[in-house]
Structure 1
Amino acid sequence: MKFCDMPYKRPDLSALLARCAELAAQLSAAPTPEALVALYREENHEMAHYRTAQILANIHYTQDTRDPIWSAEQDWFDENSPAVSNAETCIAKAILSNPHAEALADAFGSTVLPTLQNRVKAMDERLIPLQQKENALISAYQKLYGGALVTLDGKRLTIPQLNLYKESMDPAMRRAAYDAEAAYFDAHRQEFDSIYDQLVHNRNEQARILGYKDYSELSYVRMNRIGYGPKEVKAFRDEVAVHVVPMLTKIMALKAKRIGLEHPMFWDSALNFADGNPAPHGNYEELMASARKMYHELSPVTGAFIDFMQDNEMFDVMSR
């Protein structure tokens, strides 16, 4: 089925929440490991319908944040997805309370139970109003950023369309591209700052309600970081500072020498060669055909994958 033909129907929230409550009761009382595994599969299957609708709506919305139809659908999910998340948390609690819970690890792998535990640690019914507001703020940011239009080279361009100009051989044009992008953010500084400020306060309040020090602590749970935490991430950052940053500094110096820049500036960062960056040869159809050929040469599996993706028009790669 092609992406454009995928049917969309707004979920029935009342029916979904009622079904989640039924599943939670059944999962809690599952009498055998086999029954618990079967119910877990059923729960995943039923939630897949909701997730498919949610993802379809979000894809259409992010393709054009100005579309009133998909904006309305995104608003609906912003408002109602926290209640669904809370229902899923109740399901997770029910599974973990079942004495046969370890059967899920045997059937689906060692991360399934820690993932369910993190779901419980990251959600509470008291957070629903805050998460509704958080979702609305995220969508407002997407709309503000996604709808950006700037003027450059006599054209009205989106932010992604500036990338070509950032690779220009003309340093003045490269800087103009960055200046055009910055001018949009500067013109909307108050709106961006307000969204950011509200998000910080909102997320920290969610963390405090759940008993965490701040959102940073909660985010490790929400990102499902299993088996490592702040200590390990700090060690990784330190390794980057010690080993990667000096290497990148040398690479940047070599690149500046290669393209003949004595004092490289930030607007020179996208240019890699003195005679210009490599540019794609061919139109959209030719490039996609070349990609298909390459994936088929890699393996039968990647060949089947690219065929499925292209035949069903699953790619959205045109800058707009």
Structure 2
Amino acid sequence: MMNIEPKSIPKNNIDPHGLIVGHGDFKYRVDTNWGRLDPSKVPVENCHGMAFDSQGRIFMVTDNDKNNIIVYSKDGELLDAWGTQFPGAHAIKIVEENGVEFIYLVDSGWILNRNWDGESTDDWESPYNKVIAQAGFIAKLTLDGRVLYTIGHPQTIGIYRPDQAFRPTDIAIAPNGDLYVTDGYGSDYLIQYNNQGQYIRHWGGSENSDKNYNLVNTHGIEVDLRQPEQPKLIVSSRFEQALKVFSLSGEYIETIETPGAYIGGPVFHYDHFFAPVCWSDLEGKNVDDSGFIAIFDRNNKLVCNLGAQQPEYINGKLQKMCSSWDIFNHVHAICVDEDDNLYVGQWRANNSYPFKLVKID
């Protein structure tokens, strides 16, 4: 295993010499000042999800209890901030339906604990941990934040037992309007609904006789439309360090191994997709402040890592990767603009705002 020492570049501060990440066709200049705001007025906890609307505005979800939605211009200016009803805000997608845009927001069920002891952050069973769990939900909203409907715990429709947790992590919307929800902090199922929120089917979980169908800490999902005649789902199985590919009706197709990377769901941009990596794996442990961004080509081959050693294939097998510790804490959200620039949000990054990676031609 490579022994990579963290670099001296301070995270979330601009390198005075102009920090450049990436290689080949994927080089970016880091602008960590891009999304900074006044934390006394517009605070963040974690920058969990980001999405563009058709006007080029960037909607970001944070689980801060003062504002769940922050709206930026592409220049990093604050346009709006609203919402306190989504304490576990975790993912956001914006889609157009019959000429009108809507938000689908995923609340994973984690809430800030009013009895927090001021120290515990990972003692999930403690009543004094910083966040504690409740049931999550999905909300469909107008762009200005009016709730149109919600999807709650699947026990209400008979597909979960009452003792099964439902803490969803992401959502994808198919061309026909069907919704695909990953229950990555709950029971690890992938649940398909129609565009009215009515149940169709589910699959996944972590205890299938055919392990290809297992999903473990499934943390992101998107519809792959690069072959429009044969759309697919690409789904994170984060704690298996893999992405799994399914048909839209749930048949397993293939696994994209990502050894060393606790990887999230894909963000498509033309023939490529970008995937956030929350942690690197070192000696079987997910290590703090070891996130990076993985970039895959049309054939689902990893072609570049931003903030990590570059991918290496030996006899067709991707070798284990880990962070270079040069910029990222825990990458959780990515969106890409028409000029190929990236906007990046992070989990557990000292309440830092999202920043921008400016593409270098």
The answer, yes or no, to whether TM exceeds 0.5 is: no
Answer 1 or 2: higher relative contact order, Cα 8 Å, separation at least 6. 1
Structure with higher Rg: it is 1
Q: Which is strand-richer, 1 or 2?
A: 2
